[in-house]
């Protein structure tokens, strides 16, 4: 197991190095000068040059890359060109919204999808199965931003149960923060729950057709005992893969939902940074998102090894 973890950590480190090179190179090739954008098209060339020097944009790219990497390793992500505050402060503030939102949405998706997928697999070909297939297809087809706006219209405007947007901050209390995240989490969870339920159904059907399931039934176990003792664990491998991918998406891909509900999260931050040509923020946010995706993949690999010990040596 220690060898397995060591190999995965080496792969994680190599992936981060390659990702940092790609991110920095792509940002460098973007045909946009932050200093020119901040000062306007009519700014004098010497003024633009002075600002570029102040922002550290006129140095050698290789040296700036290693300064950026070295700063991140020590927790210094640089200073935002637009806000003139440390990027690490912006990241911490925005993660305080995006991370709980992603976790909340993922918990909702899992709570809906796993039992739904198991029910559909257990009643394969019956009315319940066809109903689950139809509902999940509908959940995948409906755009989450449209569903988010419908939630606002129904529950915020007509019923007045929730606010239409904004985030009060965790200093106002955990209850107030969770209440502000309920509608965004539901909007994010709908398509993810639909996808996960279909994967759970397919995985469970494949497992229930295996010989060891028939052997367990022949020994006298009931169908429910077979499903929970033998079927569920063996069906988790593809399900965990999708859960890991979904969590990464919920962290990195919630930009539309965050804008619909005016949530000050990472997605909205990177959108604003792109429009303002705040490249140091874009680089740092994307690097954090890449690290999140790679770290989640590492955790998923560990979960594989725990669920199925054969994968440790394969």
pLDDT in tens, 63-96: 888 888 888 888 788 778 777 888 888 888 888 8
Whether residue 62 is predicted with pLDDT greater than 70 in this model: the reply is yes
How many whole angstroms separate alpha carbon 283 and alpha carbon 77? 9
Whether residue 57 is predicted with pLDDT greater than 70 in this model: the reply is no
Kindly state the percentage of the chain with pLDDT values over 70. Answer: 86
- What does the H/E/C string look like for 132-159? HHHHHHHHHHCCHHHHHHHHHHHHHHHC
Bridge partners of residue 86, in order along the sequence: 79
pTM of the model: 0.78
Bridge partners of residue 122, in order along the sequence: none
How many whole angstroms separate alpha carbon 234 and alpha carbon 216? 14
Q: Residue 314 has what DSSP assignment? A: -
Residue 35 contacts residue 51 (beta carbons within 8 Å): yes
DSSP, collapsed to helix, strand or coil, labels residue 173 as: coil
Whether residue 302 is predicted with pLDDT greater than 80 in this model: the reply is no
Higher pLDDT, 153 or 238: 153
Whether residue 198 is predicted with pLDDT greater than 60 in this model: the reply is yes
Domains annotated for the chain, with CATH where assigned, are: 2-73 (no CATH), 95-312 (1.10.3720.10)
How many whole angstroms separate alpha carbon 98 and alpha carbon 239? 23
For residues 231-243, one letter each, b for 16 or more C-beta atoms within 10 angstroms of the residue's C-beta and e for the rest, the string is bbebbbbebbbbb
Residue 273 contacts residue 288 (beta carbons within 8 Å): no
130-175 pLDDT per residue, tens:
888 888 888 888 888 888 888 888 888 888 888 887 888 888 888 8
Whether residue 42 is predicted with pLDDT greater than 80 in this model: the reply is no
Confidence tier at 108 by pLDDT (50, 70, 90): very high
Residue 196 contacts residue 114 (beta carbons within 8 Å): yes
Residue 37 contacts residue 278 (beta carbons within 8 Å): no
Whether residue 39 is predicted with pLDDT greater than 80 in this model: the reply is no
Confidence tier at 119 by pLDDT (50, 70, 90): confident
Whether residue 104 is predicted with pLDDT greater than 70 in this model: the reply is yes
Whether residue 34 is predicted with pLDDT greater than 80 in this model: the reply is no
For residues 120-136, one letter each, b for 16 or more C-beta atoms within 10 angstroms of the residue's C-beta and e for the rest, the string is bbbeeeeeebeebeeeb
Distance of CA 52 to the CA centre of its chain: 34
Which pair of structure tokens corresponds to residue 149? 């706006």
Q: Residue 56 has what DSSP assignment? A: T
Whether residue 54 is predicted with pLDDT greater than 70 in this model: the reply is no
Whether residue 261 is predicted with pLDDT greater than 80 in this model: the reply is yes
Q: Which of 51, 46, 258, 227 is nearest to 144 (CA)?
A: 258
Whether residue 207 is predicted with pLDDT greater than 60 in this model: the reply is yes
How many whole angstroms separate alpha carbon 254 and alpha carbon 256? 6
Strands (E), 154-214: none
Q: How large is the average pLDDT for residues 262-276?
A: 81
Whether residue 40 is predicted with pLDDT greater than 70 in this model: the reply is no
DSSP 71-87: HHHTT---B-TTT-SBH
Higher pLDDT, 199 or 31: 199
Mean pLDDT of the chain: 80
DSSP 229-281: IIIHHHTHHHHHHHHHHHHHHHHHS-HHHHHHTT--SHHHHHHHHHHTT-HHH
190: Cβ–Cβ under 8 A, 6 or more apart, which residues?
139, 142, 144, 147
In this structure, of 4-18, 88-102, 207-221, the range with the lowest mean pLDDT score is 207-221
End-to-end, the C-alpha distance of the chain in Å comes to: 12
Bridge partners of residue 79, in order along the sequence: 86
Whether residue 314 is predicted with pLDDT greater than 60 in this model: the reply is no
């Amino acid at each position: 197991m220690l060898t397995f973890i060591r190999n995965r950590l080496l792969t994680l480190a190599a992936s981060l190095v390659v990702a940092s090179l790609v991110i920095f190179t792509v940002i460098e090739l973007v045909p946009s000068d932050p200093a020119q954008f901040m000062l306007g098209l009519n700014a004098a060339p010497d003024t633009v040059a002075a600002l570029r020097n102040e922002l550290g944009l006129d140095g050698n790219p290789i040296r700036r890359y290693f300064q950026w990497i070295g700063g991140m390793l020590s927790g210094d992500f640089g200073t935002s060109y637009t806000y003139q505050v440390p990027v690490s402060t912006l990241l911490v503030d925005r993660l305080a919204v995006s991370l709980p939102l992603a976790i909340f949405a993922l918990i909702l998706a899992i709570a809906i999808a796993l039992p739904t997928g198991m029910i559909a697999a257990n009643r394969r070909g019956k009315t319940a199965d066809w109903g689950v297939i139809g509902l999940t297809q509908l959940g995948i087809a409906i755009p989450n931003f449209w569903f988010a706006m419908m939630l606002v219209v129904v529950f915020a405007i007509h019923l007045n149960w929730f606010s239409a947007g904004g985030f009060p901050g965790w200093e106002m209390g955990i209850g107030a923060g969770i209440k502000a995240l309920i509608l965004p989490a539901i909007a994010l969870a709908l398509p993810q729950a639909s996808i996960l339920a279909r994967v759970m159904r397919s995985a469970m059907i494949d497992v229930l057709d295996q010989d060891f399931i028939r052997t367990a039934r022949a020994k006298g176990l009931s169908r429910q005992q077979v499903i929970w003792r033998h079927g569920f664990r063996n069906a988790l491998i593809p399900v965990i893969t999708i859960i890991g991918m979904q969590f990464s998406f919920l962290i990195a891909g919630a930009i539309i939902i965050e804008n619909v509900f005016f949530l000050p999260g990472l997605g909205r931050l990177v959108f604003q940074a792109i429009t303002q040509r705040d490249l140091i923020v874009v680089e740092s946010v994307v690097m954090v998102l890449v690290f999140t995706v790679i770290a989640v993949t590492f955790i998923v690999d560990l979960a594989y090894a725990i669920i199925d010990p054969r994968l440790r040596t394969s």
